[in-house]
Amino acid sequence: MLLNRPIVMGILNVTPDSFYDGGRHQLSDQILSKVSRFLDEGADIIDIGGYSSRPNADDIGTQEEIDRVLPAIELILKNYPHAYLSIDTFRASVASEAVNAGACIINDISGGNLDHQMFDTVARLQVPYILMHMRGTPQTMTTLNEYEHLVSEVLLDLQQKVAKLKQLGVHDVIIDPGFGFAKNIPQNFHLLQHLRMFQTLGLPVLAGISRKSMIYKTLQNSADEALYGTIALHTVALQNGANILRVHDVKAAKDAIAMVEALNRFCLTENE
């Protein structure tokens, strides 16, 4: 996926227990209202998730996840047939069902670790794949954040998986370093500071930091109060090379992109 400017992925969780908006988008009118607002505000992709990946979230079965996401995908595409949807899942069978229903991207938080059929499934489906770094599961990842050289280890893991995907014929890959997944708060900030290193893979980079604990714990508030901190870190991410922002607040992210682009244009003009 070649991106000539940063784009925004709006988060639509059809779960009862996601860390910020769990339970808010389970009814049809709630889903359509959120999607309508996202599209009006300029969302390029809508990311649909039916499995909460917050730390210590409940583990649900495959069929329950399918039963959550498929009706949402079908509902959205019936009302907004040109919407570009991604499916946020680590399960190959859920990914396959979602793509067959009309999703265009697979967003896998586990980077293939939790379902060894995922890479083959992506190769068969030939859709863009978001490859994220994580250790363990959402239930265990907070205990698995020991690194000697954080950026190098995350980068190597992603590099090795990109090579496997290419061998299978998958070339449309997006990189996500996995903020908050088996990383503590200082590690998250270290990753953000060195985000440009991930451009060495020659692939688009996604930053998923919206309203996360690295923000609200630093500010000593809550996810509900973390919008301003999110905007600040989105700006940093863009300046450090992020191509995609995965967000809860589309308009704020679009404004951050516009401001960074204006800054870059001004600097180019000044240096000519």
CATH of 7-271, one of 2.60.40.10, 3.40.50.10800, 3.20.20.20, 3.30.300.20: 3.20.20.20
State the pTM of this model: 0.92
In the chain, what are the domain boundaries?
A: 7-271
pLDDT tens string 79-92: 999 999 999 999 99
- Is 228 a residue whose pLDDT tops 60? yes
pLDDT tens string 82-118: 999 999 999 999 999 999 999 999 999 999 999 999 9
Residues 6+ apart with CB under 8 A from 2: 204
Is 246 annotated in the active site? Answer: yes
d(CA 165, CA 226): 36
DSSP characters over 112-144: TSS-TTHHHHHHHHT--EEEE---S-TTTGGG-
Is 212 annotated in the active site? Answer: yes
What average pLDDT does the structure give for the chain?
92
User: What residues pair up with 242 in beta bridges, in sequence order?
Assistant: none
Query: Mutual orientation of helices 28-40 and 62-79 as an angle, nearest 10°?
Result: 60
CB 127 within 8 A of CB 105: yes
> Residues 246, 251, 254, 265: which is the catalytic one?
246
| Locus of tokens 């290193």 | 197
| Locus of tokens 């709630």 | 30
> Residues 212, 251, 254, 265: which is the catalytic one?
212
